[in-house]
Amino acid sequence: MRYKDLSPAVRRSLWPIIGLFVLLLANVLISPEFFSIEIKDGRFYGSLIDVMNRAAPVALLAIGMTLVIATGGVDLSVGSVMAIAGAVSAGLIVGGVDNIAIVIGGGLLAGVAAGFVNGFLVGYFGIQPIVATLILMVAGRGIAQLINSGQIVTFHHEAFEYLGVGYLFGLPFPIILVIITFVLVQLLMRRTALGLFVEGVGANASASHYIGINDKLIKLMVYCVSGLCAAVAGMIAAADIGGSDANNAGLWLELDAILAVVIGGASLMGGRFSVFLSIIGALIIQALTITIILSGVPPKFNLLIKAAAIIVILLLQSPEFHRQIARFKKAGGAQS
């Protein structure tokens, strides 16, 4: 079977997966024990687990971002929403709330509220997504700082910290959270028609409206899901350090999340989406960081190497690039 005979869906998934595979392979070459996983006290330890654990916040953001991008939008506020959710949970704990359900519920509620604002501006007022979410990207950190009264709020709450540092079935809990979120979103999108409607709205909002799809509500929903995912990521970040840092929690992570979705092969114009490939994208970004660290290249080259590797991955999955290569090969073949 040749590449061009593959179905578009397979072709699309091929490159991110190959990319991740190559990166992991490179890691093994650099440090042979990369794939080894130890079991200590019923817990798995190893570089692979680290990659997944550290990729968890971006993977969560990417799950929500995938849906938003599928409708032709973008959510720049997720980093700030992380900070808000962390601040709300920390505030509740410091304020004396001990009930874990309320602490987590508060954080989630903050995320949904933020998503609701974004979705309402985009869906019902027709404000361009990049502008609408930029507002909350900037204002969100301000809100988080207000909640924290301008301080870094530290706390100690065992049940809440479990979100960031706990283990379940031998795996770090953030990984479990990613899996749960992925499964839930996947069920919601692919076992119902929601995924189809999301793609429809992204492909042509006006036509979807004429079909009778409530395009505004669909947009509102995806931003709410994105806010929710960001809230989970924010609480993981806060639980991880046992504190809420409004200035730094989730800083610039919206860009990593968008990048993860793009590496996963989604078009920013909207339409087709694959949550799974976006998670692969998030893993690629994290694996890359680890590769650079392991390879012993001086840290000052980190960002450049990362950028170069991402360009290669994006080129590999660009249909236009494949056409150019094919044309180049053909021309070369004709001459020789």
Partner 1 sequence: MSTDDTVLALRGVVKTFPGVKALNGVDFTLRKGEIHALLGENGAGKSTLIKVMTGVYRRNGGIIALDGTEIHPANTGDAQDLGISTVYQEVNLLPNLTVAQNVFLEREPKRFGIIDWRRMNREARELLLGYDLDIDVTAPLNSYSVAVQQLIAIARGVSMSAKVLILDEPTASLDAEEVASLFNIMRDLRDRGIGIVFVTHFLDQVYAVCDRITILRNGTLVGEYEAATLSQQDLVSHMLGKELEKAVHEKVGQAEAQTRETLFELNQGSSDVLEPLDISVCAGQVVGLAGLLGSGRTELCKLVFGVDELSQGDAKLNNQSIRFSNTRQAVVAGLGLCPEDRKKDGILGPMSIRENMIMALQNKRGWWRYIPMKKQRELAEHYVKVLKIATSDIEKPINQLSGGNQQKVILARWLAAEPKLMLLDEPTRGIDVGAHAEIIQLIRKLCDDGLGLLVASSELEELVEFADKVVVMRDRRKVAELSGSDISQQTIMQAIAGQS
Least distance from partner 1 to the Cβ atom of residue 208, Å: 7
Minimum CB distance to partner 1 smaller for 155 or for 273: 273
Q: Which stretch binds partner 1 (CB under 8 A): 23-31, 164-172, 198-206, 275-283?
A: 198-206
Minimum CB distance to partner 1 smaller for 164 or for 200: 200
Please report the beta strands in the chain, taking only residues with DSSP state E, as ranges in sequence order.
38-40, 43-45, 153-154, 167-168, 171-172, 243-244
Minimum CB distance to partner 1 smaller for 29 or for 193: 193
Told to check if 332 binds partner 1 by CB under 8 A, we report no
252: left (phi over 0), alpha (psi -120 to 50) or beta: left
Question: Six-digit token pair at 104?
Answer: 């987590």
Minimum CB distance to partner 1 smaller for 221 or for 285: 221
Q: Which stretch binds partner 1 (CB under 8 A): 33-41, 186-194, 230-238, 290-298?
A: 186-194
Helix then strand then coil, in percent of the chain rounded to 5, is 75, 5, 20
Q: Tell which residue, 195, 320, 318, 205, has the closest CA to residue 266.
A: 318
Q: Which stretch binds partner 1 (CB under 8 A): 88-96, 116-124, 210-218, 228-236?
A: 210-218
Q: Looking up tokens 């991008």, which residue turns up?
A: 69
Number of residues that bind partner 1 (CB under 8 A): 23
In the region spanning residues 262 to 301, those forming contacts with partner 1, defined by CB under 8 A, are: 271-272
Q: For the residues of 128-161, what is the DSSP string, one character each?
A: -HHHHHHHHHHHHHHHHHHHTTTS-EE---HHHH
Q: Which stretch binds partner 1 (CB under 8 A): 56-64, 139-147, 185-193, 284-292?
A: 185-193
Residue pair 229/64 in contact (Cβ under 8 Å)? The answer is yes
Mention every residue, 6+ apart, whose C-beta is less than 8 A from residue 222.
64, 67, 68, 70, 71, 73, 119, 198
Please identify which residue in 171, 203, 241, 251 interacts with partner 1, judged by CB under 8 A: 203
Please identify which residue in 17, 37, 184, 207 interacts with partner 1, judged by CB under 8 A: 207
Q: Which residues bind partner 1 (CB under 8 A)?
A: 4, 7, 191-194, 196-197, 199-200, 203-204, 206-214, 271-272
